[in-house]
Structure 1
């Protein structure tokens, strides 16, 4: 077994199939030889018995046996043996004493002495029978039958006709050589078929060994269960072949359901996997509603050459994708804020250091005081108007970002945002306001250059939280004021734009809010955000 495992799959298949063919043909050959031998024995024995019965029914033979006339019977028996091609014809009386025999010296002796057979079935029971025994003439197949008197019907003697088995052995030997040749030819043919089949089988499994297939299966199973995305695969008939635990959880199916072998339309009647199976066209980032949540799905056809053999689909809840986007956006905002502050304070420190080196200490102190006063005023405004530290920190970071760009972020001193609901996700709010301010700063800087201004006004009066962000950019054409919130739409030709405002609208939709865009008096754009205080 160890040696067999060391061989390649192709070699193993050739060896096993070849040995199987050898054993099968060998078994069939032995059975054929045995059956032929037995059939020939029976045919020769039946012929011997028929000849014996014919001789026993001859009136001259019956009369000579009754007279015990060996001189008459001896030459007749020799002639009959020659005519019937028998090995011998032996005639005996009712006591089993030979009256005719190919060897004259045996005449007068009992037939049972050296013929190795019991004559009682013929002499006592009066029945003809066959026997295979070693007698005085060697191994022979014999047919023995009693001789009945024509007058009384009594048994008066018996006739034994024998045929040598040398002829049978010659026939068996001749057929055995033929069978051996057939066995060898069958083995060679089976070996060729085994080579072809093994080669075809290896191609079907991409040249992999059984151990490699088992390892890949274990790896695939572990991989499917380790990924967080749901995965379902179907075959060419639309029946499920592969699925993982996240697929059941994402689709909200029962935990104990068995999906393997079921048609995809039985589990997911509205699935588009059958469409991909029929058309062969992949589908990416398709949004599908399942019960009370949205799913982002990708579907790819599986192909062997040009033939489609199945479809695999991976999917994930949209809120998880949105959560990842929000986290990335928030991290980017934090990084921008830190970079802005670092860059701004680095410039201010270099300026102060230069003033001190040239002896302009009064100017250095005035700059320090001015910087402290402007920051302190902003901090005081944020502390009084925006008690929430997360939103206040976001606005402070955007203020520093604007100053780094040579712009001014002006917060309306009449702003008030102290009634933020506890259920309102702070990361959503930061992503919404941060994206809108970033867009406003970029639009203002590209259109007006340094010295431009972005204004922010906030109010929590009434049932909604309202944020107004106005820039000094080129503005948005009226026919595009609704399209700018669509995914991928952007007025800029550079790649990578067209996703920030789409994310803003998506986040507002998840918390029941809305955003509008209109033209500002300054020529730029004004974005107004409405967020209901009553969060479900």
Structure 2
């Protein structure tokens, strides 16, 4: 079944606006023509009445009626008719008998022979009025006025002044021609305006059809609600125009709360969106506090040309980013551990196999015993000093990684780390400790080559957990020490560096710990000392597992 194609929006707008313009023009034309015609007829009638009243008040007319001087009255009416461009002027006595008329044969006859009321209102009631009637001279607009005797006030006659209806119609047609010509021009301009408006409107909506806009709107809403990050947008007046469910949940707001259309300072006064709206400067990956929650926020101004029309912000709890980073760090550590162990034991197995093939059984047994003894000693130390399996596994992996690099990771046999707080996030601690050890191994290998040593000592005595990592690297210049915990700052070459120590600083800030850096003058290298209070004092404190 073929799909019925819809008329394009531009065509629909042109047809709709054009039809509205035609209807308006026709309505205005009909109304204006009718009103103009009626106004002209009324104006001519009033003109006839005024001329009739003027003639009725003339002393010559009054005297002519009183004396029944027909010659003088006919001469006067003929002159006045020409002067006032009237079709006729008729004068009758109090009995409606014509005393003056353009047609001589009508003189002396009753005015009722061509007028239904023969001027009754004027002769009986003494009132002037306007009437439209068909007489011997054709249809006309007539004004009738009574003639009063000056002394007694008695009605002694009547004056009837008529203007031809054909004259009025000619005038109406002339005015209508101008009127309809103007309306035609207006209609043409309206149609052209409809084309221009439709074209500009179509460009303003990027050439999309209403159905396409509706589909995009639905997609936009579905996308907003499916995104796990919170999203809030405001217009140039600071009014919230867009918000998704994730934003309300992340901020701890009621999801049923009416947020759209309200000022941002009422819902989130510390959002910082108004400052971006004022400055137009975008902000990326800013760590801020919103409603007592630490978040990573992006704020981007929306522009229309050079004008800023609003700001959109996306944000996520920083803990979620930390979890992702920690998971990736753990996976990488596990992969490094397995790879280093595989590589190391593969070499040792090849050596043992070669010794057996050569018949050096004692040497093979000695190598096996040495390996087992060394490995067992390390495992025993870790089991005694660090009963936590996650931290112990991390240290074992770093030990194997050091051996693969041709270095030694020496763990102080007097180390002890048994009093770990239950709410201390092990993954974050492993990430921090692993970063410090990795940096120490890299610095040692670059400076000393093979057989270099990195020393680690740990203690949980007192109210703090203390970790010391010493390397045999070149040391750290003072200017670098002051900014080495900033994001992206690194002494390594290449990309994707400068994040490890930044993560260390983030964890320490959240837990309330600290770290010191010093160069070792005697042996060379540097020492990182990590202090973690057993009771967290930072701004963002993890909750106990039983409460999470």
Q: What TM-score, normalized to structure 2?
A: 0.79
C-alpha distance in structure 1 between counterparts of 2:151 and 2:414, whole Å? 153
1:528 aligns with 2:529: yes
Give the gaps of 5 or more residues in structure 2.
Answer: 538-548
Would you say the 8 A contact 1:116–1:134 is kept in 2?
A: no
* CA positional deviation for 1:166: 0.8
* CA positional deviation for 1:96: 4.1
* CA positional deviation for 1:311: 3.9
* CA positional deviation for 1:310: 4.1
C-alpha distance in structure 1 between counterparts of 2:80 and 2:294, whole Å? 105
The Cα offsets for residues 359-395 of structure 1, whole Å up to 9 and x where unpaired, read as 7777666655554444444333333332222122222
C-alpha distance in structure 2 between counterparts of 1:77 and 1:291, whole Å? 100
Would you say the 8 A contact 1:423–1:535 is kept in 2?
A: no
1:282 aligns with 2:298: no
Range moving further from structure 2, 334-343 or 244-253: 244-253
1:130 aligns with 2:130: yes
* CA positional deviation for 1:131: 0.6
2:326 counterpart SS class: helix
Partner of 2:176: 176
The Cα offsets for residues 257-309 of structure 1, whole Å up to 9 and x where unpaired, read as 75746375x77777765554455443333444456454444333433334444
C-alpha distance in structure 2 between counterparts of 1:64 and 1:316, whole Å? 109
Partner of 2:34: 34
C-alpha distance in structure 1 between counterparts of 2:460 and 2:54, whole Å? 132
Change (3 A) 1:73 1:416: closer
Partner of 2:436: 436
C-alpha distance in structure 2 between counterparts of 1:480 and 1:83, whole Å? 112
C-alpha distance in structure 2 between counterparts of 1:84 and 1:481, whole Å? 112
1:504 aligns with 2:504: yes
Partner of 1:407: 407
1:175 counterpart SS class: helix
C-alpha distance in structure 1 between counterparts of 2:357 and 2:103, whole Å? 151
Would you say the 8 A contact 1:88–1:161 is kept in 2?
A: yes
Would you say the 8 A contact 1:4–1:12 is kept in 2?
A: no
C-alpha distance in structure 1 between counterparts of 2:359 and 2:251, whole Å? 72
C-alpha distance in structure 2 between counterparts of 1:27 and 1:84, whole Å? 36
Name the Cα RMSD after superposition: 4.1
Would you say the 8 A contact 2:49–2:129 is kept in 1?
A: yes
C-alpha distance in structure 1 between counterparts of 2:484 and 2:8, whole Å? 65
Change (3 A) 1:119 1:483: closer
1:120 aligns with 2:120: yes
Partner of 2:541: none
C-alpha distance in structure 2 between counterparts of 1:58 and 1:417, whole Å? 133
C-alpha distance in structure 2 between counterparts of 1:373 and 1:417, whole Å? 23
Range moving further from structure 2, 173-182 or 304-313: 304-313
Change (3 A) 1:524 1:363: same
Partner of 1:140: 140
Q: What TM-score, normalized to structure 1?
A: 0.81
Change (3 A) 1:111 1:526: same
The Cα offsets for residues 337-380 of structure 1, whole Å up to 9 and x where unpaired, read as 23323333444455556666777777666655554444444333
C-alpha distance in structure 1 between counterparts of 2:380 and 2:54, whole Å? 141
C-alpha distance in structure 1 between counterparts of 2:88 and 2:353, whole Å? 141
Change (3 A) 1:444 1:57: closer
Change (3 A) 1:81 1:281: closer
2:530 counterpart SS class: strand
C-alpha distance in structure 2 between counterparts of 1:427 and 1:35, whole Å? 90
Range moving further from structure 2, 286-295 or 159-168: 286-295
Would you say the 8 A contact 2:271–2:290 is kept in 1?
A: no
Partner of 1:89: 89
After the TM superposition, which residues 176-215 of structure 1 pair with which residues of structure 2 at under 5 Å, given as runs? 176-202=176-202, 204-215=204-215
C-alpha distance in structure 2 between counterparts of 1:422 and 1:395, whole Å? 20
C-alpha distance in structure 1 between counterparts of 2:39 and 2:116, whole Å? 23
Would you say the 8 A contact 1:116–1:135 is kept in 2?
A: no
Change (3 A) 1:185 1:228: same
Would you say the 8 A contact 1:22–1:183 is kept in 2?
A: no
Change (3 A) 1:147 1:525: closer
2:472 counterpart SS class: coil
Would you say the 8 A contact 1:288–1:296 is kept in 2?
A: yes
The Cα offsets for residues 142-193 of structure 1, whole Å up to 9 and x where unpaired, read as 1122344567654444333221111111111111111122112223334444
* CA positional deviation for 1:204: 5.0
Would you say the 8 A contact 1:428–1:507 is kept in 2?
A: yes
Would you say the 8 A contact 1:49–1:144 is kept in 2?
A: yes
Partner of 2:398: 398
C-alpha distance in structure 2 between counterparts of 1:80 and 1:306, whole Å? 76
C-alpha distance in structure 2 between counterparts of 1:479 and 1:49, whole Å? 109
After the TM superposition, which residues 94-493 of structure 1 pair with which residues of structure 2 at under 5 Å, given as runs? 94-96=94-96, 101-102=101-102, 111-112=111-112, 114-117=114-117, 119-148=119-148, 153-202=153-202, 204-236=204-236, 241-244=241-244, 256=257, 258=259, 260=261, 262=263, 273=273, 276-290=276-290, 292-351=292-351, 370-477=370-477, 480-481=480-481, 483-493=483-493
1:506 counterpart SS class: helix
Change (3 A) 1:69 1:321: same
Would you say the 8 A contact 1:463–1:533 is kept in 2?
A: yes
Range moving further from structure 2, 407-416 or 68-77: 68-77
C-alpha distance in structure 1 between counterparts of 2:53 and 2:32, whole Å? 31
C-alpha distance in structure 2 between counterparts of 1:534 and 1:63, whole Å? 129
